[in-house]
Amino acid sequence: MNKFYFIIFILFVYSSTKVFGQAEEKLGAWYIYNGSFFPDPKIELFFESQMRFYEPVWNIEEFFLRPMANYHFSPLLFAGIGYSFGNTWTYPENDEAKERNIEHRLILQAGLNHKISRTKIQHRYRFEQRWFDTGNRHRFRYRVQVTVPIKNTVIEKNTFFVNFYDEIFVNSKPELAFDQNRLYMAGGYQFSKTLNLQIGYLFQSRPTANFHRLQFFLTQKIDFYK
């Protein structure tokens, strides 16, 4: 029965993107890897890479590498610092007409975790100092994320789960202004203690346009101290 609900969820996501894909931008996709490595119960070495495309598998939009270090004060509270390197390309389908912009970021973040029954809720607060060839900017981000295992009380091996989040971005430099909002929903499967896959849909709202993106999200967590 778990598999039945998971298939229905994925079909719902797929049909939603077919409808929303008629928006100003073509339906694109993000391919994401997140790795969390714990040499100690309180110390997390985190690495993220992303390939973003204007269309499902071609016409590259962005490429990101993001290493971070987090300290977990308790199961409920963590804080961290990190760096992000990104390449962004403008939209034209003709590769020769594309323009490339390079970005560097300093990232400070904090997170709060709590549970309601079997539902895990995380609040993440992030500040980004961003450097471009044309100058620098500051940005604040707040994300609330809800993760629910299907049938099981916890997410463990061979567990299906659903994941939702909403994240708002606000620029503070050069001026205080709304930057974007991201609304995400996905279905996932925990293959093992260390590896899971999410397939979902992201609605990205900006002041000038809305974007609809499929997401393929591979997450790995390894505790080296055990």
Per-residue confidence in pLDDT tens, the chain, 226 aa: 445 445 545 554 554 444 444 445 679 999 999 999 999 999 999 999 999 999 998 889 999 999 999 999 999 999 999 999 999 998 766 666 778 899 999 999 999 999 999 999 999 999 999 999 888 999 999 999 999 999 899 999 999 999 999 999 999 988 899 999 999 999 999 999 999 999 999 999 999 889 999 999 999 999 998 8
Fold annotation for 2-223? Porin (2.40.160)
* pLDDT tens profile 36-74: 999 999 999 999 999 999 999 888 999 999 999 999 999
Residue 188 near residue 163 (C-beta atoms within 8 A): yes
* pLDDT tens profile 87-109: 999 876 666 677 889 999 999 99
- Residue-by-residue DSSP string for 89-136: E-S-SSGGG--EEEEEEEEEEEEEEEEETTEEEEEEEEEEEEEETTEE
Helices (H) and strands (E) in the chain, counts: 1, 11
